[in-house]
Structure 1
Amino acid sequence: MKDHFNDLLAWRTQREASLRGEYSWLALAGLGWLEDGANSVGSAPDSRVQLPPRFPSLAGVLHLQNGAAELEPAPGVAWRLGEQPPLSGRSAALRDDSGGQPDLLYLDDLRLVVIERAGRLAARLWDPQHPTRLNFPGCIWYPPAPELRLLARVELYQPPKPVQIVQITGGEYTAHMQATLAFEIDGKTHRLDAEQMQDGRYNLMFRDTTAGKTTYGAGRFLISEQPAGDTVILDFNYAYSPPCAFTEFATCPLPVPQNILPIPIEAGEQATAH
């Protein structure tokens, strides 16, 4: 039990350090959905992609054509692609994140990445100087609850179960749940649908009756331990808030109806005022 407690404290420390990182979720500063054709990028109020006020009113134009984005820098604006020298007026085609490794575009310390969500492209911005990051008060946690480290039964879906995932931004996409994880609390069985990760663990989002009270209203994420045969440990002490708990510029999925629990799960991360 002592090892579990020490592991939990170490994980919490790492979680908070990650949130405070220079280009963490707390540093998100904008999300501009792109339309076909020219999309202005700058600090002007009518910019399609709005930059912080310290940047030029027009810093460039993102051209979207046939599902691909290309940046045309404004004259004299020194955009950089990754670690390369400034573009110096040259246009640059940008790889979005659908393949897992998007191009990183920088203007001073501002980072811009093109993301794909539910078939649409958007420009996402990170600003290390964003007030949400600089003023983050820290995470709030429930006291460790060893009784909520539970053995769950893995009930596989064969074939995987297709479900519609609704995003907090209103988009939808289809995901495939590999299993439902059945566990007991106070003598009653509950089930949570989950996707299996490449390393074998299960990833899920759930909501319980603490949501909107002591925890983030849309729900929380949880990653299981490694399964052993047809069982797996679900340790709700590791439940954590999704990115949209900290920023309006995230595109988080919402829990599927199956994963809305009629009970409180008083363990893991609580809501943080920001």
Structure 2
Amino acid sequence: MSTDDVDRGARGDDPRQEWQQWHEQRTAAVASSYGPLSLTGTYWLSDVPEGRIPAVPGEWRADGDEVVLTAGAEDGITVDGKPLIGTVRLTADHAPIHESRVESAGRRLVVLRREGEWAVRDFDPESPARRAFRGIVATPYDEEWVRPGVFRPYAEDRHVRVENADGKERGLGLAGELVFDLHGAEHSLQVAVEADGTLWAVFADATSGRDSYRFRFLRPAAPAADGTVTVDFNRALLPPCAFAPHFICPFPPPGNTLDTAVAAGERRPAEG
């Protein structure tokens, strides 16, 4: 189960019970063997022109639209479940982490591409972060944080450059605005539309960096035909980089920092 899937479960007659189930499933997904806590490094191949990544077996080289991986028996690498002795050409992984093609001693070595640059991610179930995990601090369900909203699509998709968690700027696609009332005032968030029609917002608010992580994600369901959509801040999510610093999460785009406090949803990882 991915950490994105558990925030879209069907709602029952008892929203508090539904939220509690969502929270438990979300915590289990984060703590799973190849959840975000297991990411121990993101290595850009442009930083290792010789092809050797410290602590990662094999030799990795970018070659146009593919990555060339070379390994010997001593590297202990398997590709598609078979030992690799020689060379294989790889493209970016899109499957769930536990189904990615390259494995070594239980670690999944995931090929990533962003804006033409190649990287290798090392997911290790024995990571220190996973062993130290104590849960997610989240505010209990409150129906006041469930707000009616409207999605207003742009005439054309927009692309903005935003800083990412690794300090680099990258493009972020935006398809429209999500408009809703909060604390008696109208607010809006710029959102992307996912392949399944659901929305995705990266936002901050007056609690960010103090009572909650510096920014969070919101993933409302697909809007109805008339654009109406439920905005449930009880299901505000911590981004993956809140659990492991090796993710490259985008920061909120301009206009997505709310001038009011959203004291709801996931707030921060629990401290040991």
- Match for residue 90 of structure 2? 94
Q: Which runs of 4+ in 1 moved over 4 A?
A: none
Out of 182-191 and 120-129, give the one that drifted further: 182-191
In structure 2, list runs of 5 or more residues that go unmatched: 1-11
Query: d(CA) in 1 for partners of 2:65 and 2:149?
Result: 42
The correspondence for 2:220, drawn from 221, 224, 232, is 224
Q: Deviations over 1:216-243 (max 9, x none)?
A: 11x1011113322121110000001000
Q: Deviations over 1:111-157 (max 9, x none)?
A: 10110123211110011111111221011111212111001122221
The correspondence for 1:77, drawn from 75, 78, 86, is 75
The correspondence for 1:252, drawn from 249, 252, 258, is 249
Query: d(CA) in 1 for partners of 2:100 and 2:199?
Result: 29
Q: Deviations over 1:143-173 (max 9, x none)?
A: 2121110011222211223322332123333
Q: Which has the larger radius of gyration?
A: 1
Q: Is the 8 A contact 2:220 2:231 kept in 1?
A: yes
Q: Any residues of structure 2 matched to 1:137-152 within 5 Å, and which?
A: 137-152=134-149
Query: Does 2:169 match 1:172?
Result: yes
How many residues in Structure 1 have an aligned counterpart in Structure 2? 255
Query: d(CA) in 2 for partners of 1:63 and 1:103?
Result: 18
Q: Is the 8 A contact 2:166 2:246 kept in 1?
A: no
Query: d(CA) in 1 for partners of 2:44 and 2:183?
Result: 46
The correspondence for 1:28, drawn from 14, 34, 39, is 39
How far is the alpha carbon of 1:68 from its aligned partner?
2.5
Q: Is the 8 A contact 1:61 1:74 kept in 2?
A: no
Q: Percent identity?
A: 29
Query: Does 2:18 match 1:7?
Result: yes
Pairwise CA RMSD of aligned residues? 2.0
Which amino acid in the other structure matches residue 7 of structure 1?
E
Helix, strand or coil: the match of 1:257? Answer: coil
Query: d(CA) in 2 for partners of 1:103 and 1:243?
Result: 18
Q: Is the 8 A contact 1:28 1:249 kept in 2?
A: yes
In structure 1, list runs of 5 or more residues that go unmatched: 42-46, 52-58
Q: Is the 8 A contact 1:95 1:103 kept in 2?
A: no
Query: d(CA) in 2 for partners of 1:68 and 1:162?
Result: 26
Query: d(CA) in 2 for partners of 1:184 and 1:78?
Result: 55
Helix, strand or coil: the match of 1:194? Answer: strand
Q: Please give the TM-score of this superposition, normalised by the length of structure 2.
A: 0.87
Query: d(CA) in 2 for partners of 1:170 and 1:121?
Result: 17
Q: Deviations over 1:183-203 (max 9, x none)?
A: 112221111011112222211
Q: Any residues of structure 2 matched to 1:182-201 within 5 Å, and which?
A: 182-201=179-198
- Match for residue 66 of structure 2? 68
Q: Is the 8 A contact 2:205 2:261 kept in 1?
A: yes
More contact order relative to length (CA 8 Å, sep ≥ 6): 2
Q: Deviations over 1:18-52 (max 9, x none)?
A: 011111110111111102743113xxxxx3xx34x
Helix, strand or coil: the match of 1:270? Answer: strand
